[in-house]
Structure 1
């Protein structure tokens, strides 16, 4: 059980770290965008929320397969496919959990008052300095929400990881898939134990978010 838990935590940790970095410029642009392009990109980012995980997993399986044009450049390095690998799981998790990182950050950036940005610009701060010294500190509560939601959402993935990773022990066999395998094998006791673990974890995440909403200034604005 411990290797499965460790692999799941590793996947969630890697996904969360990458998304917090990658989602920042995208969320900032979406928060500042007022045109149709922003709405279009925002819809694409939010698509995994409403898209069945098996659909996303199916297309990712095709994209990461040896016959995919996307894999052609990597074959020169001896990499034929990323399907059924930990790297493939990370790619799938990045796409599937993207909205859970972008949306809290976008809302947090939108909550940053224009007066703060204008004041920094009036004092001669560059665009980068205004972002790093004004917008980022004020949007910090949004990063807390994004980190918690992304980590928790990745922990609970099933459809995507099963489609592109299968259940290779030590490589792609995460908690949600292990529960499915236990049920198939009629190992009800082990399935109960793992399911209860995820149930307690999910409750702790929701409780933590509610408590943080009260204690961190601006967190409630950042979630809207």
Structure 2
């Protein structure tokens, strides 16, 4: 009997993380794309660090940052009785950090591709920055937004190293699909590992297919 709970947890984690990242990266990418300041390269480098850091290194520092012995971990546990490691809350925080550049980069690229004349025309018509963002900029970068959302979602589904370090393998709490595959291999249950891996392969292919297919449709319009 196949336990589908890890997949449900993975989808839940991916959905929540993607939603949080979208609302963080949308204004952040817009501000960075439309501004020039000395610290801009440093901020972009920090945001992009998860792309090049080994998951074990990133997971270690996130674990230290969220542990009950850190300022944040101690504060959350003492005042709100919330433990930030080895539970689903910790997974969400870790996933948001790990998948941040996958949401940020496509949106930033989309905003940078917009001609300045388009934004300036909106301002000249009396539109504010927020109205320009939602009614002018966003409709013109739909492919970038779609790519950012789907790729971030898919990337979170496949997370392993960071998830293992922050959440471990707790049934119904932190045991997502990638961890379930690892556990199956650990106990030499290759049949179950094949099934779980096959499902993840199918999901990953479907997600990528949707990105290219929908973007192609949008570009033809």
Please give the range of the TM-score, normalised by the shorter of the 2 chains: over 0.9
C-alpha deviation, 1:78, in angstroms: 4.9
5+ residue gaps in structure 2?
Answer: none
- 1:34 has 2:36 as partner: yes
Deviation per residue, 1:146-176 (Å, 9 max, x gap): 1100100000000000000000000000000
Which of 103, 107, 111 matches 1:101? Answer: 103
- 1:52 has 2:54 as partner: yes
Q: Distance in 2 between matches of 1:2 and 1:73?
A: 35
> TM-score scaled to structure 2, two decimals?
0.94
Match of 2:153 in 1: 151
> TM-score scaled to structure 1, two decimals?
0.92
Q: Distance in 1 between matches of 2:185 and 2:5?
A: 19
Match of 1:5 in 2: 7
C-alpha deviation, 1:80, in angstroms: 6.0
5+ residue gaps in structure 1?
Answer: 220-224
Q: Distance in 2 between matches of 1:186 and 1:127?
A: 57
Report the number of matched residues.
219
Deviation per residue, 1:125-154 (Å, 9 max, x gap): 222222222112212222111110010000
User: For 1:171, what is the secondary structure of its paired residue?
Assistant: coil
Match of 2:168 in 1: 166
Match of 1:179 in 2: 181
CA RMSD of the aligned region, Å? 1.6
User: Does the aligned pair in 2 maintain the 1:27–1:109 contact within 8 Å?
Assistant: yes
